[in-house]
Amino acid sequence: MMDLKGIMEILPHRYPMLLVDRILEFERSKSIVGLKNVTINEHFFLGHFPGRPVMPGVLIVEAMAQTGGVLIAQEFENIQDYVIFFMTIDNVKFRRPVVPGDQLRMECEVIHFRRKVCRLKGQAFVDGQLAASAEFSSMLVKKDE
């Protein structure tokens, strides 16, 4: 559906903070599915944790939010003029560790969307097993404000 180049045209994130490699499914204003290929080359594995690398939970939530950001960005013609900021992160649960070699599948759906504020529900899976889930709210803010 969308490759890394297309994602980079929408999201302002870049290495090492771009955490979505591909968009697999997309239903405008409703849902999106993205992928993150987790490799041992990720910068955070150097310190989290030596000898037992585990993807930090906060980055799993960020990957879900970035996937949701691609969904929300489709609602705006001039998205390059905005930045999407977290407002809230609720009901976060981690169910299994994410380790090098895993493919993280992020599924997000819109709970509520009005004007420039959106609430999403995200789930991250590895091999069909739930790794993490969260609900988050974001707001679009004009870059020059």
80 pLDDT more than 90? no
Return the pLDDT at 131. Answer: 98
Return the pLDDT at 82. Answer: 87
Chain segment 38-61, per-residue pLDDT in tens? 999 999 999 999 999 999 999 999
The mean predicted confidence, pLDDT, of the chain is 95
Domain extents in the chain:
4-142
Return the pLDDT at 43. Answer: 94
According to CATH, the superfamily of the domain at 4-142 is Hotdog Thioesterase (3.10.129.10)
Question: What would the mean pLDDT of 18-30 be, rounded to a whole number?
Answer: 97
36 pLDDT more than 90? yes
- CA separation for the pair 22, 91 (Å, rounded): 26
Please confirm, yes or no, whether 13 is among the known catalytic residues: no
Whose tokens are 């290929």? That residue is 37
- CA separation for the pair 80, 9 (Å, rounded): 8
3-state SS, 62-104, equals: HHHHHHHHHHHHCCCCCHHHEEEEEEEEEEEEECCCCCCCCEE
Which residues share a beta bridge with 116?
none
Q: What angle do CA 90, 133, 65 make, to 5 degrees?
A: 75
Of the residues 13, 43, 48, 112, only one is catalytic, namely 48
Residue 57: DSSP 8-state: H
Other Cβ atoms less than 10 A from the Cβ of 120: the count is: 24
Other Cβ atoms less than 10 A from the Cβ of 47: the count is: 9
**Model's pTM, two decimal places?**
0.95
Return the pLDDT at 111. Answer: 97
* Backbone dihedral angles phi then psi of residue 105, each to the nearest 5 degrees: -105, 115
Q: How far is CA 141 from the centre of its chain?
A: 18
